[in-house]
């Protein structure tokens, strides 16, 4: 497969994910990858999250369709897994809550009748992990988010685009990161 | 320009045709001045024009009557020259391009040069080890090196003269260290240890892998056409003679061809590996991982019980992992051999065989390894080879870096 490169799994907190509402395609044929563009300028086609699965519910009518809620120090992610995400659906069907989970998945968006954009994750795979991994992820994600915040003051195209669309308040996201980092200290 | 005009005029006079200089000059000037054609090309074009006008065959003109002048291989230094050569074909190379009929190496007592016979030239084929007279071949430069191409105007004639070829063999290739290999197209002798033998799916390749010495390691390819009777074994030490360095995809490698030889040696070579260290989350384990079967003869992994080279064989079980690590900014493919896989997964080869037998399915081993390993952070180290890091040590990350935590808090406070 010449020219094929695997999409990197981006790290972002649930709060930033929830506050994202811009999607675009890189290129214009049907196979072009779709990206979610976040307020700190992350271009997300794939993401890696680790958090606590706090709720799960089969909301499907005919076939199983699972909704899960995964929390991190800044809020919660929603994940949806049906017949096209068999691995994740199986994990959701079998696991208990709460549980530490790691999810590799694609961002997806849904526009409500009121015109609001809701973000969720379509998991490609989902694994049960441990608390240590969850803490490592918070640190990892804080570091990645701070990098992006620092880049926002540069003239990088992604930074310009983020500021243009979201009018990003860097203080807002810096305090989000701070909250996440401080939560790690409380546990020790 | 006058020189060219005179040159053309003389050549035609030799063939009994007297063309007025003005006519030649007019045509040549038009091409060079008005149409910005390079001199050599313009000359060729003018010659062809008059050949056609006077119905003279190209062979007659270029091959000439009487004495043909031959060039020596070492004297070929300019692009776009028509030359005649008396040479021996020393190598015919593997040819993958359909527009090429044959490609290889020609040699005379002064040196060697690559040749390409285009399929469109419809020339008779040549054989390795025989001597030929090549007429009207064109020199050209490619990638900074000279070569000759055979086209429709060229001719090939076998000759009984045995051409003494400058020996490129023993003595010419020098014994080098891997780290010193820095140039394409060098003949080298190399003492090294086979670090890895890779799976090989191309039937024109006999063996491929990684050879290393105390300075570094490098990819090697042993072509099937080289017909070298020695089968390299992982972990053993060898002296490779007359291997050729080549560049592929921006990386250097060494190839073993018909002129090369391999000798096992008793020296124990300590291989230096410049290790890559990565700390990242494992985000996937790819198919072909877990419990696999390998061909007992060539160590390739089997697909549906069959080896690409040896067909249906009784495979030997092995464990391995092909995993993807992701730092959030890059992804890295990593390969884990059996020992490392056993260590990190806690599943030994024996366990894995028992698990597969229980479930009547090899896939359960891969599934168990995924459950155990994916989604967590690891620190791995090992040499990087092509797109893989060959993992020699892997450790699960579990302790939070409190120093980093403090640093990040300080950073976040000042943004």
- pLDDT tens profile A57-66: 999 888 899 9
CB B218 within 8 A of CB B188: no
Quick check: A44 pLDDT over 50? yes
Alpha-carbon gap, residue B121 to B149, rounded angstroms: 10
Q: How far is CA B83 from CA B87, B112, B135, B139, B151, in A?
A: 12, 15, 7, 7, 12
- Please report whether residue B221 resides in a domain: yes
Quick check: A1 pLDDT over 50? no
Q: What is the ipTM of this complex?
A: 0.94
- Please report whether residue B333 resides in a domain: yes
Instruction: List CB contacts (< 8 A) between B408 and chain A.
Output: 139, 142-143, 146, 177, 181
E strand or H helix that includes residue B292: strand B290-294
Task: Answer yes or no: do B207 and B235 share one domain.
Answer: yes
Residue with tokens 């390079």: B38
Partner-chain contact A132 B399, CB within 8 Å: yes
Task: Answer yes or no: do B337 and B240 share one domain.
Answer: no
- Which pLDDT does position B141 carry in this prediction? 83
CB B194 within 8 A of CB B211: yes
- Which pLDDT does position A188 carry in this prediction? 43
Task: Kindly report the nearest CA distance between residue B333 and chain A, in angstroms.
Answer: 10
Instruction: List CB contacts (< 8 A) between A4 and chain B.
Output: none
- Which pLDDT does position B17 carry in this prediction? 86
Report the range of poorest mean pLDDT among A41-50, A123-132, B264-273, B391-400.
Answer: B264-273
Task: Answer yes or no: do B257 and B320 share one domain.
Answer: no
CB B218 within 8 A of CB B202: no
Alpha-carbon gap, residue B23 to B47, rounded angstroms: 12
For B326, the closest of A48, A184, A188 (CB atoms) is A48
DSSP code of residue B59? I
Sequence ranges of the domains in chain A = 9-182
Task: Answer yes or no: do B224 and B299 share one domain.
Answer: no
φ and ψ at A104, to 5 degrees?
-110, 120
Partner-chain contact B329 A8, CB within 8 Å: yes
CB B226 within 8 A of CB B260: yes
- Which pLDDT does position B166 carry in this prediction? 61
Task: Answer yes or no: do B154 and B221 share one domain.
Answer: no
The mean pLDDT value for A31-44 works out to 93
Confidence of residue A2 (pLDDT cuts 50, 70, 90): very low
Query: What is the tally of structural domains in chain B?
Result: 4
Task: Answer yes or no: do B128 and B214 share one domain.
Answer: no
Residue with tokens 């054989």: B127
B386 and A CB contact within 8 Å: no
Measured in residues, chain B has a length of: 415
Alpha-carbon gap, residue A14 to A22, rounded angstroms: 16
- Please report whether residue B196 resides in a domain: yes
Domain A9-182 has CATH 2.40.50.140: yes
**Residue B131 CA to its chain's centroid (Å):** 27
Best of A5, A7, A8, A151 to disrupt the B interface by mutation (most B CBs within 10 Å)? A8
Partner-chain contact A127 B399, CB within 8 Å: no
CB B305 within 8 A of CB B312: yes
Alpha-carbon gap, residue B210 to B270, rounded angstroms: 14
Confidence of residue A146 (pLDDT cuts 50, 70, 90): very high
- Please report whether residue B270 resides in a domain: no
Compute how many other C-beta atoms are within 10 angstroms of the C-beta atom of residue A131.
Answer: 12
Average pLDDT, chain A: 91
- Which pLDDT does position B250 carry in this prediction? 67
Task: Kindly report the nearest CA distance between residue A114 and chain B, in angstroms.
Answer: 34
Residues of A with CB under 8 A from a CB of B: 5-6, 8-11, 48, 50, 101-104, 125-130, 132-133, 135-137, 139-144, 146, 149-150, 170-171, 174-175, 177-178, 181-182, 184-185, 188
Domain that holds residue B290: 275-396
- Which pLDDT does position B37 carry in this prediction? 64
Q: Which residue has the higher pLDDT, B45 or A91?
A: A91
Partner-chain contact B326 A8, CB within 8 Å: yes
Task: Answer yes or no: do B308 and B375 share one domain.
Answer: yes
- Which pLDDT does position B198 carry in this prediction? 84
Crossing angle for the helix pair B402-414 and A131-151, to the nearest 10 degrees: 30
For B412, the closest of A130, A174, A184 (CB atoms) is A174
The mean pLDDT value for A52-72 works out to 91
- Which CATH number covers residue B81? 2.40.50.140
pLDDT beneath 70: ranges in chain B: 34, 36-37, 63-68, 166-173, 249-250, 273-274
> Could you tell me if residue B16 is left (phi over 0), alpha (psi between -120 and 50 degrees) or otherwise beta?
left
Quick check: A174 pLDDT over 80? yes
- Please report whether residue B217 resides in a domain: yes
The mean pLDDT value for A89-104 works out to 93
């Amino acid at each position: 497969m010449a020219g094929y490169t695997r999409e990197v799994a981006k790290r972002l907190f649930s709060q930033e994910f929830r506050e994202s509402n811009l999607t675009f395609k890189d290129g214009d044929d049907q196979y072009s990858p779709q990206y979610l563009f976040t307020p700190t300028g992350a271009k997300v086609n794939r993401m890696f999250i680790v958090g606590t699965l706090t709720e799960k519910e089969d909301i499907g009518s005919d076939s199983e369709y699972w909704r899960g809620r995964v929390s991190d120090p800044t809020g919660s992610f929603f994940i949806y897994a049906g017949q096209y995400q068999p691995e994740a659906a199986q994990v959701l069907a079998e696991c208990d809550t709460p549980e530490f989970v790691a999810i590799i998945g694609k961002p997806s968006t849904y526009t409500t009748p009121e015109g609001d954009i809701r973000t969720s994750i379509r998991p490609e795979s989902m694994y049960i992990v441990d608390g240590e991994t969850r803490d490592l992820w918070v640190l990892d994600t804080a570091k990645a988010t701070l990098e992006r915040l620092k880049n926002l003051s540069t003239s990088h195209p992604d930074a310009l685009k983020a500021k243009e669309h979201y009018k990003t308040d860097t203080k807002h996201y810096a305090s989000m990161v701070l909250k996440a980092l401080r939560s790690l200290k409380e546990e020790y | 320009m006058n020189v060219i005009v005179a040159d053309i005029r003389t050549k035609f006079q030799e063939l009994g045709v007297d063309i007025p200089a003005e006519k030649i000059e007019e045509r040549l000037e038009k091409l060079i001045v008005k149409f910005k054609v390079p001199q050599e090309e313009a000359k060729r074009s003018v010659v062809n024009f008059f050949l056609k006008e006077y119905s003279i065959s190209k062979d007659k003109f270029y091959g000439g009557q009487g004495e043909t002048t031959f060039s020596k291989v070492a004297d070929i230094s300019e692009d776009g020259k028509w030359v005649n050569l008396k040479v021996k074909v020393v190598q015919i190379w593997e040819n993958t391009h359909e527009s090429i009929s044959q490609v290889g190496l020609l040699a005379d007592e002064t040196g060697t040069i690559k040749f390409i016979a285009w399929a469109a030239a419809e020339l008779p084929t040549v054989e390795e080890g025989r001597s030929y007279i090549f007429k009207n071949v064109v020199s050209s430069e490619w990638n900074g090196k000279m070569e000759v191409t055979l086209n429709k105007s060229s001719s090939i004639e076998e000759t009984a003269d045995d051409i003494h070829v400058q020996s490129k063999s023993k003595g010419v290739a020098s014994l080098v260290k891997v780290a010193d290999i820095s140039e394409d197209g060098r003949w080298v002798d190399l003492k090294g240890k086979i670090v890895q033998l890779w799976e090989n799916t191309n039937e024109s390749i006999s063996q491929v892998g990684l050879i290393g010495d105390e300075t570094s390691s490098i990819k090697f390819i042993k072509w099937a056409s080289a017909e070298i009777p020695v089968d390299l074994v992982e972990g053993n030490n060898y002296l490779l003679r007359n291997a050729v360095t080549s560049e592929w995809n921006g990386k250097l490698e060494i190839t073993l061809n018909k002129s090369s030889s391999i000798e096992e040696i008793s020296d124990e070579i300590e291989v230096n590996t410049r290790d890559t260290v990565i700390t990242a989350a494992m985000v996937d384990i790819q198919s072909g991982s877990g419990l696999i079967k390998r061909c007992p003869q060539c160590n390739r992994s089997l697909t549906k019980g069959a080896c690409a080279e040896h067909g249906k064989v009784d495979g030997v079980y092995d464990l391995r992992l092909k995993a993807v690590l992701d730092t959030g900014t890059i992804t890295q493919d990593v390969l884990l051999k059996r020992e490392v896989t056993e260590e990190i997964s806690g599943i030994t080869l024996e366990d894995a065989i028992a698990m597969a037998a229980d479930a009547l399915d090899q896939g359960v081993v891969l599934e168990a390894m995924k459950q155990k390993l994916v989604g967590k952070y690891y620190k791995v180290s090992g040499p990087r080879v092509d797109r893989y890091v060959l993992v020699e040590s892997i450790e699960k990350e579990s302790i939070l870096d409190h120093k980093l935590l403090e640093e990040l808090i300080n950073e976040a406070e000042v943004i």
